[in-house]
Amino acid sequence: MYRSFGVSVIGMTNIPEAKLAREAEICYGVIALATDYDCWHETHDDVSVDAILAIIRHNVTMAKSIIKHAVRRIGTARNCPCGSALQYAIITDRGAIPEQTKKILIL
C-alpha cells in the first residue's frame, strides 16, 4: 500500500503520543530516526537484528546530542497555543455540569 502511495518513509509511532500530548496541553516535538528499510527496498540487504541494534545505538547517541543542543535553545517562555489547546473542548454550559463532574474534570 505504501509503495502505491509513492512514500519512502513510514512513521510508526507518532500519532498516539501527539494526541495524548495535545490532550494534556503539553508541547510536543518528534525526533524521528530511521532504523531500516524493512523489506521493501530492493537495493538494500534484508534487515537483520544485529544491523538494527547497531543503528539504534547510533541513533541513541544522535538523539542525546540533538536533545542536549535543543534544550539550550528552547527557553522557558511558552509562545505556543499548546497550553490552551482544550480551551473549547467542553462546549456544554458549565452551569449544566454537575459539581462532582467538575471536580473530576478539574474545571
Residues serving a catalytic function are 36, 38
Residue 81 CA to residue 19 CA, distance in Å, equals 15
Residue 71 CA to residue 65 CA, distance in Å, equals 10
- DSSP assignment of 68-90 equals HHHHHHH-S---SSGGGTTTTT-
